Amino acid sequence: MFKLLSIAIVAGLFIESHQEHHNDTSEPHECWTDWFDRDDPPDTGDWEDLRNLRSENPGKICPKPKQIEAETKCGMTPAKTGDVIHRSDTIKGFICLNSQQPNGKMCNDYKVRFMCEPPYCAKECWTNWYDRDDPAGTGDWETLSDLRRENKDEICENPLQIEAVTVKTMTASTNTGETFHVYNPNRGFACRNEDQQDGACLDYKVRFKCPCKEE
């Protein structure tokens, strides 16, 4: 009986080990590239077309991307902006034409990235959270220039993304219903009390996504 029990235990360990190995997904088959922003919309629109992106960023986009993702510099999806998108696919890339927008409005400024296999993966890291100001005065000013001056060599030259949450509850800024004066990775974050219905901003903290530092 002892021998049979030992065999059963060994068999169970083998099956468990095999299942863990089979279900191991720590090495993804696809991942996202860096974000690319090659154009601004003041002319005919925002042209993040794949042909020009490949020409301007050699070797950074795989031959056959699996997916494309687009968002504004402050992280809004095209659906949230209300823009009419002319094209968004892995064949031509992303194109928003000013001529197709309602009421003569201009396209937002977008950035795009593509899903590729691991050799093309972006290596991005978030900074620490920063909370340099309180909304007691004119508002909550977490501007990039001030944060860089107060936290030397901690924030990269060209952040890829910004995230803002409330200090007390970690509520995403986009879920608070407040209006923001500045919200983009190149300038930082600012909430003005005068822009809010109740006359007061919540207290926010911010962080930035940057290329990972090489160790």
Residue 147: is its pLDDT beyond 70?
yes
Nearest to 84 by CA among 32, 41, 54: 41
Helix, strand or coil, per DSSP, at residue 137: coil
Mean pLDDT for the chain overall: 86
Tell whether 163 and 184 lie within a shared domain. Answer: yes
Residue 61: Cβ-neighbour burial (10 angstroms; 0-12, 13-18, 19+): buried
| 93 within domain boundaries | yes
**Tokens found for residue 69:** 């993702």
| 50 within domain boundaries | yes
Least confident of 75-79, 80-84, 131-135: 75-79
| 180 within domain boundaries | yes
Torsion of CA 137, 144, 183, 102, to 10 degrees: 130
Rounded to two decimals, the pTM is: 0.55
| 16 within domain boundaries | no
Identify the band that residue 123 occupies on the pLDDT scale cut at 50, 70 and 90. Answer: confident
Predicted local confidence at residue 9, as pLDDT? 37
Listed in sequence order, the DSSP H helices in 41-140 are: 50-56, 78-81
Tell whether 135 and 69 lie within a shared domain. Answer: no
Tell whether 68 and 112 lie within a shared domain. Answer: yes
**Residues forming beta bridges with residue 205, ordered by sequence position:** 165
| 7 within domain boundaries | no
Q: By residue range, what is the domain housing residue 105? A: 31-121
pLDDT in tens, 6-53: 433 334 433 333 333 333 334 457 889 988 999 999 999 999 999 999
Give the residue with greater pLDDT, 157 vs 165. 165
| 15 within domain boundaries | no
Distance in angstroms (rounded) separating the CA atoms of residues 16 and 96:
51
